[in-house]
């Protein structure tokens, strides 16, 4: 039910933004989802259709853009994209720490009418 809460928050933000912009309808919402986010696209769209009923966001399409997870090595101080296998720093081979990117879920932009 993780998506339920996430989608509810998403609609609240979208509706508020649309209201500020004086829009009567939202036609498209572009979302950014981190690779490591547990959010599933299909579930979000399903909850979105259900929860947006009666709001300006109802009937809007959702577009998802996945961004890859990034790790930080505290020894080298570098940031790197998650390697295909494991989480090791490409420079020193020590295990990297996960940064906030990769877990994000937010609205990138919207199209309104």
Judged by the rule CB under 5 A, the positions of this chain that interact with Zn ion are: 73, 75-76, 89, 91-92
DSSP-derived secondary structure letter, 56: T
The Cα 102–Cα 98 span in angstroms is 8
Q: Which is nearer to Zn ion, 28 or 92 (CB)?
A: 92
What residue numbers does the annotated binding site cover?
2, 73, 76, 89, 92
Q: Which is nearer to Zn ion, 3 or 70 (CB)?
A: 70
Task: Give min distance, CB of 91 to Zn ion, in A.
Answer: 4
Q: Which helix (H) or strand (E) holds 105?
A: strand 105-112
The Cα 110–Cα 24 span in angstroms is 13
What residue numbers does the annotated binding site for Zn(2+) cover?
73, 76, 89, 92
């Amino acid at each position: 039910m993780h998506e339920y809460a996430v989608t509810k928050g998403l609609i609240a933000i979208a509706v508020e933004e649309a209201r500020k912009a004086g829009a009567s309808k939202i036609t498209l919402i572009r979302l950014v989802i981190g690779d490591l986010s547990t959010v599933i696209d299909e579930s979000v769209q399903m909850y979105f259709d259900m929860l947006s009923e009666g709001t300006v966001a109802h009937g809007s399409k959702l577009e998802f853009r996945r961004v890859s997870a990034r790790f930080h090595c505290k020894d080298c101080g570098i940031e790197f994209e998650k390697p295909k296998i494991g989480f090791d720093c490409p420079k020193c081979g020590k295990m990297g720490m996960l940064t906030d990117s990769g877990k994000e879920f937010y609205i990138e932009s919207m199209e309104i009418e």
